[in-house]
Structure 1
Amino acid sequence: MKSSSKKKTSPRSSARRPAPGDSQAIDQLCELLAIPGGSGDELRVAQHLKDRLVQAGASPGSFAFDEAHRRSVHGGACGNLILKLPGTHRGPRRLLAAHMDTVPLCVGGRPKRVGSRIVPAEKGLGLGGDDRAGCAVLLATAAAAVRREFSHPPLTFLWTVQEEAGLHGARHVTLAKLGKPQIACNWDGGPAHRITLGATGGYRMEIETLGIPAHAGNHPERGVSAIAIAAIAITDLVENGWHGLIECDGVRGTSNVGVVRGGEATNVVTDRVELMAEARSHDPKLRKRIVKEIKEAFDRAAKRTRNADGKCGKVRFTGRLDYESFSLDRRHPSVVAAVDAIAGNGREPEFNISNGGLDANWLSARGVPTATLGCGQNAIHTAAEWLDLEEFAFALGVARRFASGGVG
């Protein structure tokens, strides 16, 4: 965001000075990074957060777990952890959110501090800064609020489950437990001064191609290859521009067949193949069109693939909306509050639209319009992931100012 009244600052040129609580927050971050907790296995993380906040002075009765895991297709050990705090001054309730789960690559990893970075201690494992860094930012902010280190309006802290497995915590959060927040920010990956205003929508598909088995050496003509059906369908999609990056009437989207499983022996005409695919677009109409084209390509391939008796293959196609797209106006109160929190800590905000799903997708869709900020995570979902501690410290200041309502 440019300003005519003062010179544009670089991300580092006017960063907030380290605060006394930063060292403790970094120690707590390392504790969180060392706790295993993939999607559906977040209970130890949730209990750790609750224990640390009770030690800071929070009343055990101010916490709640919802039943999001019982509504998720994955089940799980616990629902979302929610902490509600009354305000020390009047104002609209503010929500701060982060997700507790990590991708499988990070489960079992340990952090190691190297200068101004935190990196994985073991080769081949990820760090889990996505999103234990966000959890740590909320933990430090909530603890400071509990200790009355700053004045604030009513606050709700939400640590969600199963973000990495399809945003199920945010999708199934019990809204009645949140206290009707009117301003909301989600702390996830990326630079601490970047505000993500919107994100794409995603649709997930599970496809089965069903053929007819036969001995591939003696009578291959009696069979219908499920692998051939899948190959013909994917080729159709690629050749007609419906796989990969898709541009249609000035609108962009993506699709990908990312998983293919099938076949047990080279001497058998494979009769069943499982595939998983996705379609994404910020435009719901294009996303629906992509799904339609994928389904029709597989239907055509099945009808085209026949054996010597004229029998053809079949396709089973199921799908579900993973998350709907959203876009917040820069004048929305959640965005205005995020801008104030970043500017109040000495930086100029950068605006972003994401091509991946965020908890903010479902929170916004369910009536809690949410902006997303980063905490300094880099190379997430890889074994090369690292966390920038200067960015993490800046995120702490941003979260504290956001929670204060811009007055503390």
Structure 2
Amino acid sequence: MLNTDEALQRVLRLMAIPGKSCEEQQIADAVVAELRAAGLPSEQITSDDAHTRTRKPGAVGNLIARLPGTGDGPTTLLSAHLDTVPICVGCEPVVDGDFVRSANSATGLGADNRAGVAAVLTAAVELLRSGRPHPPLVLCWFVQEEIGLQGSRNMDPAVLGPIDVAINFDGGTVEKLTIGATGGERMTIEVRGRAAHAGVAPENGVSAITIASLAIAELEREGWLGRIDRSEGRGTSNVGIIQGGDATNVVTPAVHLRAEARSHDSAMRERIVARFREAFTTAAAAVSSAEGHTGSIEFSSTVDYDSFRLSEDSPSVVVARDAVTAVGRTPYAEVAGGGLDANWLYRHGIEAVTLGCGQRNVHTTDEQLCIADYLDACRIALRVAAGENN
């Protein structure tokens, strides 16, 4: 049985706590306080040092709690991410009928992913208070998920230890079992040209804007930009940031671009990135001044997360499917088009299924949390934690 009133009040409290990426100390402290109040010894609660290796320095690392097994069953990991996006800072969660929304119309709600945080925490608190037998449990709340899965990427998997079953709670519907996700790679492109007076001697310049424009146009024309469906494979790409130029009377000497490539096929993602590099290199060589000077590029890329897909008979998939069915829902499996902490868990040797908690319109001021879905996510977390589906 689930204490639904307490579970609802818990998520309302947690959503009101600010904690955007890299600033998760306050929300981590709140989770620790509830675990301690429920009777979990402090020596069974730790934070790792992943935040010292992330792209941006963070206030705290991933939060990890251990509940030694008091019954039979596989070692089970329940996880969620602590951070929210900046638009959620200042939210004022209120119940509005069957949903929770922010009373502050200028903010999001932070249900992504405080609902996941609360579902995992609720399962732990219920077990600790009831004394129900359960298999060995590892609970992990990741940091910096919203800025490239940095917490899960930079964790040392040895800190978690061997895991048999893993369920990750994030955004979306309760019924959907996310058993795979695309891989993503970010590109940084510095285009170098040559400055000249655009009115007096434009022919002496090499326009970095022209180089970038030619490269982007070629990628679009050949089907390597946007949704990509070619004989080589499928994926997506996007140029999201272009910065450069200070005045209209100067031939622009430098442009900074940031782009991304995604695919469920790692080899295809690499092909997309290679095609971007080739297009910009070719364009830089094609634009020259009257004196024969050409442009150049500096190109770098970073893999945010690699793609993965679990088999239907993976222990984590079986347990998740049974738990969703047990609460009266009809489970279905999907592969996500974005990255999840489960991407990096997979790279760390842990097969994790991701379940939603009823979050709607995330990352917007229209964000809502479906209370019925959230409470079912808590029930699922509790069933899995208690080993009732093993």
For residues 110 and 213 of structure 1, what CA distance do their matches in structure 2 show?
Answer: 51
How is 1:371-386 mapped onto 2 (pairs within 5 angstroms)? 371-386=353-368
Instruction: Give the secondary-structure state (helix, strand or coil) at the position aligned to 1:170.
Output: helix
Instruction: Give the secondary-structure state (helix, strand or coil) at the position aligned to 1:215.
Output: coil
144-153 vs 395-404, which moves further: 144-153
Instruction: Name 2:191's counterpart in structure 1.
Output: 209
Q: Contact (CA 8 Å) 2:323, 2:389: kept in 1 or not?
A: no
How is 1:94-113 mapped onto 2 (pairs within 5 angstroms)? 94-113=76-95
Shift of 1:47: 0.6
Q: Contact (CA 8 Å) 2:16, 2:91: kept in 1 or not?
A: yes
- Equivalent residue for 1:347, pick from 306, 329, 351: 329
Shift of 1:79: 0.5
For residues 244 and 86 of structure 2, what CA distance do their matches in structure 1 show?
Answer: 23
Listed as ranges, the gaps of 5+ residues in structure 1 are 1-18
Shift of 1:205: 0.5
- Equivalent residue for 1:58, pick from 17, 31, 40: 40
Instruction: Name 1:38's counterpart in structure 2.
Output: 20
For residues 144 and 179 of structure 1, what CA distance do their matches in structure 2 show?
Answer: 24
> 1:252-284: CA deviations, max 9, x gaps?
200000111111111221111111100000011
Q: Contact (CA 8 Å) 1:246, 1:252: kept in 2 or not?
A: yes
> 1:121-171: CA deviations, max 9, x gaps?
222321111111100101111111221353210001000001111111111
- Equivalent residue for 2:273, pick from 291, 306, 329: 291
Instruction: Give the secondary-structure state (helix, strand or coil) at the position aligned to 1:141.
Output: helix
> 1:272-308: CA deviations, max 9, x gaps?
1111100000011111110111110100111111111
> 1:37-56: CA deviations, max 9, x gaps?
11111111101100111111
> 1:72-100: CA deviations, max 9, x gaps?
11121110000000111022210000001
Q: Contact (CA 8 Å) 1:340, 1:406: kept in 2 or not?
A: no
For residues 213 and 249 of structure 1, what CA distance do their matches in structure 2 show?
Answer: 41
For residues 125 and 335 of structure 1, what CA distance do their matches in structure 2 show?
Answer: 35
Instruction: Name 2:103's counterpart in structure 1.
Output: 121
347-356 vs 249-258, which moves further: 249-258
Instruction: Name 1:199's counterpart in structure 2.
Output: 181
Q: Are 1:173 and 2:155 counterparts?
A: yes
> Partner amino acid for 1:91?
G
Shift of 1:384: 1.3
> Partner amino acid for 2:3?
G
> Partner amino acid for 2:150?
H
Instruction: Name 1:399's counterpart in structure 2.
Output: 381
How is 1:229-378 mapped onto 2 (pairs within 5 angstroms)? 229-249=211-231, 251-378=233-360
Alpha carbons of structure 1 residues 20 and 358: separation in structure 2 relative to 1, 3 Å:
closer
What RMSD, in angstroms, separates the aligned Cα atoms of the two structures?
1.3
- Equivalent residue for 2:167, pick from 176, 179, 185: 185
Shift of 1:249: 2.3
Shift of 1:177: 2.1
> Partner amino acid for 1:58?
L
> 1:8-35: CA deviations, max 9, x gaps?
xxxxxxxxxxx55111111111111111
Shift of 1:174: 2.3
Instruction: Name 2:67's counterpart in structure 1.
Output: 85
Alpha carbons of structure 1 residues 199 and 20: separation in structure 2 relative to 1, 3 Å:
closer
Shift of 1:112: 2.2
Shift of 1:106: 1.5
Q: Contact (CA 8 Å) 1:93, 1:183: kept in 2 or not?
A: yes
> 1:368-388: CA deviations, max 9, x gaps?
111100000011122211110
Instruction: Name 2:113's counterpart in structure 1.
Output: 131
Q: Contact (CA 8 Å) 1:198, 1:325: kept in 2 or not?
A: yes
Instruction: Give the secondary-structure state (helix, strand or coil) at the position aligned to 1:228.
Output: helix
Q: Contact (CA 8 Å) 1:202, 1:280: kept in 2 or not?
A: yes
Instruction: Give the secondary-structure state (helix, strand or coil) at the position aligned to 2:261.
Output: strand
> Partner amino acid for 1:384?
D
For residues 197 and 374 of structure 2, what CA distance do their matches in structure 1 show?
Answer: 60
Instruction: Give the secondary-structure state (helix, strand or coil) at the position aligned to 2:130.
Output: coil
Identity between Structure 1 and Structure 2 (%): 46
Q: Contact (CA 8 Å) 2:2, 2:126: kept in 1 or not?
A: no
237-246 vs 178-187, which moves further: 178-187
339-348 vs 45-54, which moves further: 339-348
Q: Contact (CA 8 Å) 1:200, 1:356: kept in 2 or not?
A: yes
- Equivalent residue for 1:159, pick from 141, 158, 161: 141
For residues 176 and 38 of structure 1, what CA distance do their matches in structure 2 show?
Answer: 27
Shift >4 Å, 4+ stretches? none
Q: Contact (CA 8 Å) 1:93, 1:179: kept in 2 or not?
A: no
Q: Contact (CA 8 Å) 1:151, 1:407: kept in 2 or not?
A: no
Q: Contact (CA 8 Å) 2:2, 2:379: kept in 1 or not?
A: no
Instruction: Give the secondary-structure state (helix, strand or coil) at the position aligned to 1:186.
Output: strand
Instruction: Give the secondary-structure state (helix, strand or coil) at the position aligned to 1:164.
Output: helix
Instruction: Give the secondary-structure state (helix, strand or coil) at the position aligned to 1:147.
Output: helix
Shift of 1:251: 3.3
> Partner amino acid for 1:22?
T
TM-score (norm 1): 0.93
Q: Contact (CA 8 Å) 1:246, 1:254: kept in 2 or not?
A: yes
